[in-house]
A and B are shown apart, each in its own frame.
Chain A
């Protein structure tokens, strides 16, 4: 067994560690003997309080539409690079749709926009998309990357983690309602303590419940520590943009973070336990439910008692056997009377309790397993009782919706120690919860919330992070938003604003945005407006040789960076264009078909409409991601992903070319074209272009398409003459020529495969 489960380590962080070790103490050289940090570390830009910079003066002030433009243009002018002309309206519209809602505009949206000659036509589109409920879906997906979201546990068994999807729904609601980010942060970290009666605030804490977990590990002490490592590095990276994990085994070699600081952050979570039973209902609804349940229980008591009596011996056997397999210390923790349990024992108790609680998804003795072991007579009797019980099912209130999250195990937390090498039992000096020593060397001031079995530790952390004076929080988040719009952040390492992270390309802009964010009540939608309405964002993406010579990587943003769409968005766009998209929002994850021959724990959703829900709702199993998405760079869910890879491979091409699922989209798309454009190839091509690319074909494009249909028709006709099956539109007019229709399917299929379809330009 390795001392550290590597899943909890983030690669980026590791190379940072490694870098740091290389240059050894270069960063900390020049510090005074008692001073833990060098002036160089202390002076790092990201640790300075955010000051609102002046909006710079520029020569071509007519180009400035929002203050963002002034910051960008000032840099461009300094380098003698002109900004690009605006993108054409269709390009801009598609870019904005993909960016904000992750779907292409419908033809009527395009027409309306092109027809709107008012000066605010584009701003209106932005406003409209920001209130579209699909906006929340698009931006939730970004947050899921950061939250290492998956619907399963990970590790060998990789069991489904039910109700994880409720967190996804919470996110959609939060983004759609433009929840102020400081409130959002507080909810993620300590929603249960701060708003204990608000189901959503409790559900928000699932952010720290999404860790990969080897739930069947016997060494519960180690398992707890691995989870704490995960939480520490995720919280440090996502909210603070700091590579805390580099300080797990030694002081951070670049950033002013002591090894003790890592454990000081971890200590805020020292008393955390999983809560997989958060009731997502109003108090009244919950009361009503309870009353109904009690009524059912009273009516069925004799039956259930007899059933329980039959089950009990076997059940006890199974559970005793489970407990027997734990080490002595754990057994003691679970078997000792509750008033005698130490805080640490409580944590162990809760971990095991998940296997002993009939309501838990991890329950070790589910009824079916127990009944399977009953002897014939008993089983027969049990079944009789069950059928009698079934007669009362009308009275049963059903299950209340349940969410997952975390909570504290009590008002007192176990002690936290610096761990040598991060190894769970290599305890060193004790630490109290605290913020980075750089900012505050003392322990954090913690007040346990009144009337709650909670320490209040996370509240203290949440308040510190969400404080407008925190130099990191707002910078980190505005940089992320920027990153998702432009494909690269102002700092190109969005979860590392430390000394080993990228340097900001536009530091003053970053700070201006951060202050703007805070001043506007931490409104994310306000940032979208500022960015999208800028001329910077509206630029064309075309290459210009002269500008490339000066800024080959487009760091100064002299053009809009073209980017391939994510696999999920390609799928959503194709479903939308094909008319097959089921836009229903929310609910449990769905299982679209997987390639034939794939071995995976995957029960394909039977209802075709359900399969065609947006990609956001596709089930994510940690060890086997949906292959279409994996091929298109869906991140590994074992760690937080601040920036996706974008690769190009023939396997992506094979997927879009040969998958029956994709072909079905093409068949849907062709059907739409047929019904809206009729049988005239000329009109069909126009319609296909309008639906998929939001524009008319050029003359050459039209010729090429007509020529294709003509030639391709010949190819298919031969094939049809042999009596072979044709691939036809899903819906088609009764009098359409099958050969024509099949050729149209193929045209539509290639459009879905094309670069114009799969790129945000």
Chain B
């Protein structure tokens, strides 16, 4: 039985928070009078944003932040991190009877012949981990990486699989892992959003459900930065409005919102909206600097590939991610190929050549940069998609979705680098040794953040819900 943790925020304690933050519903006017002496401004600055105030982890955290490099659409593990000589041997043959045919996303592709990888493979680093020639620069960092080759999930199609990789469930509605982490730890920088999503040109399939707060208070949902122009618009106070004036206005707005919420304390959305203004105000002073990539040296910009059109988009997001975690942002997701860019059903060579070219240098640059700045020690970098791809072909030159076995790797904070964990079967279809379910990946990530996935619960509809639903085991061997 899970004990009631301080993390379980009941209605009553939310009320407490509002009172603590200086509202005291019966006496909003009084609050306002206190406020004018800067009482509330003070409270707001040092965590008036109560839901997001920094909280103690369950155990000492190895990771302060997560950068999750999300290859949306499903990168092919058997062409990147999981070489399968047996596939070469069986090339052009149907899958041997010994492999149970899975029910595939596209009808009957499991009856298609096996397709060997066209890549050339090499062992890298001291650890000698295999990486294909699609990721030459990423390969230089294998000694920092734990490569989980035996991941598996339930989602056979993108929307469900994306949703599961983010929320643990293929059905929309649960909180995303970033929301859980935010709920558990609060913010280390009250001046920036705690949980940020960076995408490329298109929408992430499924949209905001992938960074939703689900049944957690709305304050924990992720913030999607813009893709074009500036990541955040309207960071500047309009001309003619001074900072003191802005602060004074916001104090009045807070008073207005408290009057309105006086009999609506249960509505976390109202509360989140109130808090979002305080955060917005603080972002005005912090965010312009945080998102200003022109402050980076030419060498750093090159390191991430900002000088090359192919790599510039993802590189910019990786660099932005580094700047954000450097400033205490807890959880950053960078989607590569948002809108299912990695979904190579037909032309794996063409698709993955392009996708790997656009990500190889930025990822390698990010790892090198984090390391050089000493940030890798407490930043967990996660790479993966919502699933992998099948060993059998689809339409001759493509591969179908493979949620039964695929690769995720992690590097940085507390991860023992240079190791491979688990394996898939001989053809890379299913997780074989040491299978790692999505829940296990989530439990492991939370563990590194100092959170015990069994203790991080939230009472919802009479049930103590957790990020890993009814599953999840921490993958201990991943840790240094």
Residues of A within 8 A of B234 (CB): 595, 651, 654-655, 657-659
Nearest Cβ on chain A to B442's Cβ, whole angstroms: 19
B221 within 8 A of A: yes
Known: A654-B235, A712-B245, A715-B245. A14 touches B259 (CB 8 A): no
Q: Are A2 and B228 in contact (CB under 8 A)?
A: no
A-contact 0/1 string along B272-291, CB 8 Å cutoff: 11101101110110000000
Q: Are B345 and A4 in contact (CB under 8 A)?
A: yes
Give bound CA distance, A438 to B350, whole Å. Answer: 42
A543 within 8 A of B: yes
Chain A binder among B25-33, B120-128, B140-148, B325-333: B25-33
Chain B binder among A275-283, A526-534, A641-649: A641-649
Known: A18-B161, A648-B273, A715-B242. A1 touches B205 (CB 8 A): no
A700 within 8 A of B: yes
Nearest residue (CB) in B for A21 is: B156
Q: Are B236 and A658 in contact (CB under 8 A)?
A: yes
Q: Are A727 and B347 in contact (CB under 8 A)?
A: no
Q: Are B237 and A648 in contact (CB under 8 A)?
A: no
Q: Are B252 and A597 in contact (CB under 8 A)?
A: no
Q: Are B264 and A542 in contact (CB under 8 A)?
A: yes
Residues of A within 8 A of B230 (CB): 595, 597-598
What are 8 A-B residue pairs whose CB atoms fall within 8 Å in the complex? Answer: A18-B160, A21-B105, A543-B266, A658-B237, A658-B284, A659-B233, A708-B248, A755-B261
Chain B binder among A178-186, A263-271, A371-379, A745-753: A745-753
Main secondary structure of the interface of A (DSSP, over half): helix
Q: List which A604-649 residues lie within 8 A (CB) of chain B.
A: 623-624, 627, 633, 636, 638, 645-649
Give bound CA distance, A725 to B241, whole Å. Answer: 9
Q: List which A340-375 residues lie within 8 A (CB) of chain B.
A: none
B263 within 8 A of A: yes
Nearest residue (CB) in B for A17 is: B157
Q: List which B238-252 residues lie within 8 A (CB) of chain A.
A: 238-242, 244-246, 248-252
Q: Are A15 and B163 in contact (CB under 8 A)?
A: yes
A124 within 8 A of B: no
Q: Are B257 and A712 in contact (CB under 8 A)?
A: no
A49 within 8 A of B: no
Interface size class of A (residues with CB under 8 A): 35 or more
Residues of B within 8 A of A649 (CB): 193, 221, 223-224, 276
A-contact 0/1 string along B191-212, CB 8 Å cutoff: 0010000000101011111000
B340 within 8 A of A: yes
Nearest residue (CB) in A for B261 is: A755
Q: Which residue from B218, B228, B235 sits with its C-beta under 8 Å from A599?
A: B228
B255 within 8 A of A: yes
Known: A4-B345, A750-B253, A756-B260. A14 touches B158 (CB 8 A): yes
Q: Are B260 and A755 in contact (CB under 8 A)?
A: yes
Q: Are B252 and A712 in contact (CB under 8 A)?
A: yes
Residues of B within 8 A of A749 (CB): 249
Give the interface of A toward B (CB within 8 A): 1-4, 6, 11-12, 14-15, 17-19, 21-22, 24, 249-250, 420-421, 423, 542-543, 548, 552-553, 562, 564, 595, 597-600, 623-624, 627, 633, 636, 638, 645-655, 657-660, 663, 698, 700-701, 703-705, 707-708, 711-712, 715-716, 718-719, 724-727, 746-747, 749-751, 753-756, 758-759
Give bound CA distance, A460 to B408, whole Å. Answer: 52
Give bound CA distance, A759 to B267, whole Å. Answer: 12
Q: Are B244 and A715 in contact (CB under 8 A)?
A: yes
Give the interface of B toward A (CB within 8 A): 28-29, 32-33, 36, 103, 105-108, 154-161, 163, 170-172, 193, 201, 203, 205-209, 218-219, 221, 223-224, 226, 228-230, 232-242, 244-246, 248-253, 255-257, 259-261, 263-267, 269-270, 272-274, 276-277, 279-281, 283-284, 339-340, 343-347, 350-351, 395, 398, 461
Give bound CA distance, A89 to B291, whole Å. Answer: 47
Nearest residue (CB) in A for B235 is: A654
Q: Are B269 and A2 in contact (CB under 8 A)?
A: no
Nearest residue (CB) in B for A249 is: B107
Residues of B within 8 A of A663 (CB): 238, 241
Complex A-B, nearest 7 residue pairs according to Cβ-Cβ distance, in ascending order = A18-B160, A653-B280, A658-B234, A14-B159, A18-B157, A595-B233, A700-B29
Residues of A within 8 A of B155 (CB): 18
Give bound CA distance, A657 to B273, whole Å. Answer: 13
Residues of A within 8 A of B236 (CB): 658
Q: Are B260 and A657 in contact (CB under 8 A)?
A: no
Q: Are B107 and A420 in contact (CB under 8 A)?
A: yes
Give bound CA distance, A747 to B250, whole Å. Answer: 10
Q: Are B249 and A746 in contact (CB under 8 A)?
A: yes
Q: Which residue from A22, A638, A712 sits with its C-beta under 8 Å from B170?
A: A22
Q: Are B280 and A11 in contact (CB under 8 A)?
A: no
Residues of B within 8 A of A647 (CB): 208, 221
Q: Are B161 and A650 in contact (CB under 8 A)?
A: no
Q: Which residue from A6, A599, A654 sits with its C-beta under 8 Å from B339?
A: A6
